[in-house]
Amino acid sequence: MTEDAEQLFPIEARALAESLEAGLLDLKSHPEDRALIDGVFRDLHTLKGSGAMFGHTRLAQFLHDFETAFEAVRDGRLRVSPALVELGLRACDHAMALLDGGSAEPGEVLLSALAALTLEPGAAQAAAQPDDLAAGTGVGDSLALGREAAAVPDQDGPPPWSLSVYLAGDTLTLGGRPLGVLDELRALGAQRLHPLLDRLPPLSELTPDRLYVGWRMELPGELSEEVIREAFLFHDEGLDLELERRAAGPAEAAAARGATAAADPEQPDAERRPKGSAGAMMRVPAERLDEMMDRVGELVIAEARLAELAARSGDTLLITVAEEIQRLATSMRETTMSIRMTPIGSISGRFRRLVHDLDATLGKPIDLVIEGQDTELDKTVIEMLADPLMHLIRNSADHGLETPEERRSMGKPDVGTIRMGARYSGAEVVITLADDGRGLDLGKLRAHAEKRGLIGPEDDLDDAEIRALILQPGFSTAQSVTELSGRGVGMDVVRRTIEQLRGTLEVESEPGHGTQISMRLPLTLAIIDGLLVEVAGERYTIPLAAVEHIIELPEDRAQETGHTRLLTIRDKLVPFLRLRQLLDSPGAPGPHQKVVVVTAGELRVGLTVDRIIGSSQTVIKQLSPLHAALKSFSGATVLGDGTVALILDVPQLVAFGQALDAVEAA
Amino acid sequence: MMPRAFRSAQPSREFRPAQDVVTLRLGGELLAIESGLVREVLEPGAITRVPNAPAFAAGLLNVRGTVVPLTDLRIPLRMPRCPRDADTRILVLDLKLAGAASVVGILAEKVHEVTQISSAAIEDVPDVGARWPAQFVRAIGRKDTQYFIIPDLDAIFAAFLAVPLGAALQIA
Amino acid sequence: MKRTVLVVDDSASVRRLISSTLRAAGYDTIEATDGQDALSIARTARPAAVITDQNMPNLDGLGFIRAFRALPGTAGVPVIFLSTENAETLKQKARAAGALGWMTKPFDDRKLLNVVSKVLGA
């Protein structure tokens, strides 16, 4: 056996254990799902088998009984119960401990609990809570049932739409994308999608590039007909579409509402499970990726220099080669970057496990809904986010959500919901964590902050400022320390981590309805697409992702002074900032200035520049500590001619401009 | 800080023997920088102005693909400034900034030579030392009849980093 | 991977407008000044989509689309037809020539990006 393979085993085993854990958690809500059962069995089997090969006999022996149990499940001799899932999860933990050289002892307890469960399937309830396991299980069937009953809120909307559609037969030949249409319909909330195959001709008459398949689906009743028809842009020619409102039976309507909450039951298994589980993956040390990114960065700079020299030489052969290299460098860069980009979903397994455990310890049923799992961030950023997010979830579960009794008395469903969402917004990613709990009690917050000496009784704070107090260092909710919030990081550490990532944090809360924490993070990447602009003979780079469009500054506006002004762009007032003034640039502006309209957070702002030079790949070099205090720049880059250009940090620059204006107005 | 250490060790007016330095002219005075710190000497190419940055660190330059801040020791040493000319050079130094190894450029009106000089603490040379902020001068060096200011780079950069935007140095 | 859109229009300003909007949104563009020019580019460049004007010298939009569709490997490449007139007959002709869809000038960048992203997939 090679040394390499031996080093690989623990990595692979950990991946298998993670995949096993995810599979078990999924099984909790889909106990009948064959693909999940097969997956869990396969993971157990592989983990046991490779463990034995690498001399982990204790691990292999321990897993043997679990494998047998899931074999029985697979063959239909045993049903998945919450108790079995719980035991499986604990077995997972124990397997990891064994890999780290931990004691075999706890395994005995698990195995006897498993034996009790498999020998007498009716005894599931008893086996779930033997004394040795009691340290925080409490997940019984009754609880799980109670949750299912409460999961579908009773509300009536307009009856759903029923849609049957066939696109024109020549759609594919003309480059139309039926899948795009379906994606759009899915985004609108389409469910129960069925293919319609009745127009499929006999094989002898089938033309491969014609489209014969149609689809039937249900769409939420709240949508207007126009919105639905908009999904068929460019498909109106030859379109065969039937759209009608359908009075659904109560059972069906309830099922439809239930399904929108989380995973679509008709979605194939592969899509429901988070990406990044084992499979055909290769694990690479992160430092090697960093190194690779550095090399690619240098390549991009060298390539830019080559392109410039080639252009200057006028030698067409050389230019062709330079262009070829540019193409290669671009795709190389994109590949490298995509390797570093990781979907948020890659760490969501930890959150689901945490909620599962919290659920048991706190005696509060909790539903964790994760949205935008595919949103990608740089790997380092994701890793740094994991702990703060765990802390926020723990906080929500511990302090935010009420007990089922309290919730019932307030007319809320027994099951509390924690919702984690991730989405792109301009050049940023916004991650939100919201609960539907009791919200922040501003009076108590204020009193607590006063007691801690963070503010005085005379300080005049508005609600937002009071809410922000929980982010202050020294504001520990020590008085309500529980087992959970006692450990881990505090809110101020959460804030510091976010700030380290050049992000911002916002707390919103409505008493009785819940609390939401929003984190805005830049897509901090080593290389970005940049728009190179010129102001007073100096060149600056604006991240292209932030650029919406570019317009000419009307000549009559060119000579005005002041930092922020308003400009009418397509009937909308857009504030604009004069970069020349913000950057303290010499000289007077020329007559033909351009306005680069950028998004900064939720804001659209124009930046006036003298000239647009073009867009190019931009390797971000961090500024030295000497310039770290200058927040208006997110870094610098080396241009093709060897000079350095600063990269503008658009949100910070906008804030700077507004601050300058405030100072002048005062 | 380090310079104080050899004040007590060195008797008055006695110069510590021979250390390798690069000598340069700045603000009309002669300075010496420990040659071990100097990575290379460059002719000033394109220097990028950093808007709203303090005068001490007002520029950036490209040194073989690395973006390096350009600093002007005349600000903390309260020396008169003159425009760049054909003699102007940039010394690229390896320094520690906030604990991390960093590359920093410093401006020189003219770079003279690599040589050996002996040095003494600033207090021991009152007639020469009194003109500069004592906390930023590590020692006074001497070669034959010429005196050199040996700036305390650690103290200068630490003071700059201690205050946001280097306000202290700008006002000083 | 950036996708390349072939932009065909005899008006340099319209070409540039479309190009810069698409580039800012992350697409690559190649510009052609008329149908003839576009055809010779299309033979080698293999664009992911084509946006073409109708009224152009040498070879007009309809003619170009027909010739384009006759090239090997162009099945499945979406062509968007631009015109200043919103005439039903012209629209039918464009469709028959092999255009997927139609946009009437003037249009703004939002509409353009919406159309292109739908056609190419976001």
Tens of pLDDT, residues A181-216:
888 888 888 888 888 888 888 888 888 888 888 898
Q: Which of B48, B68, B157 has the CB atom closest to A643's CB atom? A: B48
Alpha carbons within 13 angstroms on the beta-carbon side of residue A409 total: 5
Main-chain phi, psi angles of B133, to 5 degrees? -60, 115
CA distance A290 to A339: 11
Q: What's residue A574's pLDDT?
A: 84
Which residues 6+ apart lie within 8 Å of A61 measured at CB? none
- All domains in chain B, ordered by first residue: 2-171 (2.40.50.180)
Closest chain A residue to the Cα of C109, Cα to Cα? A549
- Taking 70 as the threshold, does the pLDDT of residue A121 lie above it? no
pLDDT tier for residue A73 given thresholds of 50, 70 and 90: confident
Q: Do the beta carbons of residue C104 and residue C83 sit within 8 Å?
A: yes
Mean pLDDT of A244-258: 50
Locate all alpha helices (DSSP H) within chain B, ordered by sequence.
2-9, 126-129, 153-162, 167-171
Select from A468, A484, A483 the least CA-distant residue to A394. A484
Q: What's residue A248's pLDDT?
A: 46
Q: What's residue A284's pLDDT?
A: 72
CA distance A258 to A261: 6
Q: Nearest C-alpha of chain B: how many angstroms from A584?
A: 6
Which tokens in the block code for residue C96? 């028959």
Kindly report the average pLDDT of chain A as a whole number.
77
Q: Nearest C-alpha of chain C: how many angstroms from A185?
A: 12
Q: Nearest C-alpha of chain B: how many angstroms from A627?
A: 7
A629 interfacial to chain B (CB closer than 8 Å): yes
CA distance A498 to A519: 7
Per CB-CB distance under 8 Å, the chain A contacts of C75 are 172-173, 175, 209
Which residues 6+ apart lie within 8 Å of A481 measured at CB? none
Which residues 6+ apart lie within 8 Å of A236 measured at CB? none
- Taking 50 as the threshold, does the pLDDT of residue B27 lie above it? yes
- Taking 60 as the threshold, does the pLDDT of residue B43 lie above it? yes
A 611-650: CB under 8 A from C: 615
Q: Which chains have at least 3 CB atom pairs separated by less than 8 Å from chain B? A: A
How many beta carbons lie within 10 A of that of residue A157, not counting itself?
10
Q: Do the beta carbons of residue C121 and residue A177 sit within 8 Å?
A: yes
Q: What's residue A247's pLDDT?
A: 58
Q: Which has the higher per-residue pLDDT, A468 or A370?
A: A370
Q: What's residue A665's pLDDT?
A: 67
Mean pLDDT of A539-557: 84
Q: What's residue A500's pLDDT?
A: 66
Q: Do the beta carbons of residue A278 and residue A346 sit within 8 Å?
A: no
pLDDT tier for residue A272 given thresholds of 50, 70 and 90: very low
Residues comprising chain A, all counted: 666
> Domain residue spans in chain C?
4-120
Taking any CB pair shorter than 8 Å as contact, residues of chain B touching chain A are 45-46, 48-53, 57, 60-62, 65-69, 71, 97-98, 100, 102, 104, 157, 160-161, 164-166
CB contact under 8 A, A529 and C119: no
Q: What's residue C64's pLDDT?
A: 93
Select from A530, A536, A505 the least CA-distant residue to A633. A530
Homologous superfamily, domain C4-120? Response regulator (3.40.50.2300)
* Secondary structure (3-state) at A246: coil
Q: Do the beta carbons of residue A211 and residue A169 sit within 8 Å?
A: yes
Mean pLDDT of B9-33: 76
Q: What's residue B56's pLDDT?
A: 92
Per CB-CB distance under 8 Å, the chain B contacts of A629 are 164-165
CA distance A50 to A63: 11
Q: What's residue B104's pLDDT?
A: 95
Q: Which has the higher per-residue pLDDT, A273 or C55?
A: C55
Q: Nearest C-alpha of chain C: how many angstroms from A607?
A: 16
Q: What's residue C1's pLDDT?
A: 56
pLDDT tier for residue B131 given thresholds of 50, 70 and 90: confident
Mean pLDDT of B115-127: 71
Mean pLDDT of A368-395: 85
Q: Which of A173, A184, A550 has the CB atom closest to C76's CB atom? A: A173
Q: Nearest C-alpha of chain A: how many angstroms from C87?
A: 15
Q: Which chains have at least 3 CB atom pairs separated by less than 8 Å from chain C? A: A
Mean pLDDT of B80-87: 88
Pairing of strands A572-578, A603-609: parallel
Q: What's residue A89's pLDDT?
A: 87
Q: What's residue B17's pLDDT?
A: 65
Per-residue pLDDT in tens (0 to 9) along chain C, 122 residues: 578 899 998 877 778 888 888 888 888 888 898 898 899 888 888 899 999 988 888 888 999 999 998 888 888 899 998 877 667 788 888 888 889 888 887 777 778 888 888 888 75
A240 interfacial to chain B (CB closer than 8 Å): no
For tokens 């949100």, the residue is A651
Mean pLDDT of B125-142: 74
> Domain residue spans in chain A?
3-139, 161-267, 286-341, 344-522, 527-665
CB contact under 8 A, B65 and A638: yes
* Secondary structure (3-state) at A371: strand
Q: Which has the higher per-residue pLDDT, A492 or A521?
A: A521
Closest chain A residue to the Cα of C81, Cα to Cα? A234
The fold for domain A344-522 equals Heat Shock Protein 90 (3.30.565)
CB contact under 8 A, A234 and C101: yes
CA distance B140 to B3: 11
Q: Nearest C-alpha of chain A: how many angstroms from B156?
A: 12
The fold for domain A527-665 equals SH3 type barrels. (2.30.30)
A230 interfacial to chain C (CB closer than 8 Å): no
Main-chain phi, psi angles of A508, to 5 degrees? -125, 150
Q: Do the beta carbons of residue C7 and residue C31 sit within 8 Å?
A: yes
Residue type, A339: I
Q: Which has the higher per-residue pLDDT, B21 or A495?
A: B21
pLDDT tier for residue B107 given thresholds of 50, 70 and 90: very high
Mean pLDDT of A49-74: 79
Q: What's residue B49's pLDDT?
A: 95
Which tokens in the block code for residue A484? 């959970």
CB contact under 8 A, B67 and A645: no
Mean pLDDT of B87-98: 91
CATH annotation of A161-267: 3.30.70.2170
CA distance A52 to C83: 70
For tokens 């509060």, the residue is A364
Name which of C2, C74, C81, C100 to mutate to probe chain A: the one with the most chain A Cβ atoms within 10 A of its Cβ: C100
Which residues 6+ apart lie within 8 Å of A288 measured at CB? none
CB contact under 8 A, B104 and A627: no
Q: Which has the higher per-residue pLDDT, C7 or A456?
A: C7
The fold for domain A3-139 equals Four Helix Bundle (Hemerythrin (Met), subunit A) (1.20.120)
For tokens 């900064």, the residue is A600
Q: Nearest C-alpha of chain B: how many angstroms from A338?
A: 24
Tens of pLDDT, residues A392-426:
898 888 888 999 999 999 999 999 999 999 887 76
Select from B94, B7, B3, B86 the least CA-distant residue to B43. B86
Select from A38, A88, A74, A99 the least CA-distant residue to A353. A88
Residue type, C77: V
> Which of the 8 DSSP states describes residue C48?
S
Which tokens in the block code for residue B154? 């650690």
Which residues 6+ apart lie within 8 Å of B155 measured at CB? B1, B135, B136, B138
Q: What's residue A257's pLDDT?
A: 40
Mean pLDDT of A34-51: 80
The answer, yes or no, to whether the previous bond of C106 is cis (omega within 30 of 0) is: yes
Mean pLDDT of A305-317: 85
A306 interfacial to chain B (CB closer than 8 Å): no
Per CB-CB distance under 8 Å, the chain A contacts of B104 are 624, 626
